[in-house]
Structure 1
């Protein structure tokens, strides 16, 4: 009896849920890194290309923010259509291209274009990565695994400041190119690591209707009873499809929750505004 139980335990695949979630959450690290690393290039590129304050602020420095807005608004479309893993992979490609492109840019227009590309990656990652993590995690682990994305954003900000500090004076007038180009290292590593993670089983089940593949991935993630979990997902999808549009999230039932979320995001964005002000005033 004991040997039979031992065989059953050994036959179960070991869960690597944390490692898979960490890889997806690394998109947050590059998010934070890309957001702050521009601080080291602010003054050098302004002097290099001799642009006006209006052009420098609205076009060059803000281009990544415009990309972030567009990416966050429309990022859900490819995430739902093509799958979470494919989008996470292309996010890594966008970050890599942006890092290399801005580092070798010879004029403000090329520089701004590649900054916009990086901004798109930031915006889409804010949609795809949390969605992926929430879908592969269990009810017990969803909170702490989802928080890794936010932690990595702050960690990326810290590393970007340290990177700029240590690269200052590295190559004279081209310091800023190294500061921006170094982001290609974590971006490429992230892209390679994304190749090893599975697709979201919920997306495969809900969009591709592939029950066997979804079950296989759930076993890899350590789900103890994948059949019961699949039934729960299908039941939830059917209930969502049968729910009238008039009873969606913008109803009195969710009014308090929506207001709390709105206020929380306002505080977070306010902190970000202060961070950008301090960051740019320093340089």
Structure 2
């Protein structure tokens, strides 16, 4: 592999790892409740027939909102700034769920975190796919999936470590707060690192920022790649069309059904 191609590949890998922190926070935020729910139940004296389930599942409301608006938001703000918004939501949720005055406030902050989960689940793989050269795109997108399951693993280990730091009474009073608050660290890391990565070249091209798009494409693949990819992106944008109704056409229905079923089974 030529030196310039190797260097650009390393740069793309670093950028994609930063974006994949959104996937890690997806797993972290989703999994943190598992180790804390028992202590929460006792601390807030939750009704196990309803309140416990509501507290555990409340983040899914935010996920639904985040997924619903992420596409529009990433087109309006850009992929990078949408991820910045998600990182801020993760941070707010981490602090808020660690220091709630009551269970209602806890649920509100969990929903806020869920919005971040939904936004990151859409925007992180989108950004990675748009900034990666075709030769390594599949590998780079898979980094996001790896980051999600890593987030689950990390938070389970963190929860376990925190639970070992005190007695049952300490965990009921304070341990669960540290579990949720621990998410603030990766959220802050993502927020800071996002200021060091470029915007998606596709988004830049779509909104007429051609010089910046070419600069990003040159950085990730060299001058020859940049010009080819730039022309390809412009051509794709020029021919963009479609509606939700097209998904119901005979050739697309089976693809839509398979995609939805796989997504449901994954959860």
TM-score (normalizing by structure 1): 0.85
In structure 2, the residue matched to 1:104 is 99
Shift of 1:58: 4.7
Once the two structures are superposed, the pairs formed by residues 1-283 of structure 1 within 5 Å of their partners are 14-15=7-8, 16-171=11-166, 172=170, 173-206=173-206, 208-223=207-222, 224-241=224-241, 245=243, 248-269=246-267
Shift of 1:134: 0.8
Shift of 1:54: 4.3
Equivalent residues, number: 258
Whole-angstrom distance in 2 between the partners of 1:247 and 1:69? 22
**Residues 199-247 of structure 1: CA distance to partner in whole angstroms, max 9, x if unpaired?**
00110101x2111111011111124332221111111122224xx6488
Q: 5+ unaligned residues in a row in structure 2: which ranges?
A: none
Identify which range, 222-231 or 90-99, moves more after superposition.
Answer: 222-231
Shift of 1:250: 2.9
Runs of 4+ in 1 over 6 A off after TM superposition: none
Cα RMSD (Å)? 2.1
For the structure 1 residues 121 and 18, does the alpha-carbon distance in structure 2 shift closer, same or farther, using more than 3 Å as the test?
same
For the structure 1 residues 247 and 124, does the alpha-carbon distance in structure 2 shift closer, same or farther, using more than 3 Å as the test?
closer
Shift of 1:263: 2.6
Structure with higher Rg: it is 1
TM-score (normalizing by structure 2): 0.90
**Residues 87-143 of structure 1: CA distance to partner in whole angstroms, max 9, x if unpaired?**
111111111111111111121011111111100000011111111111111222111
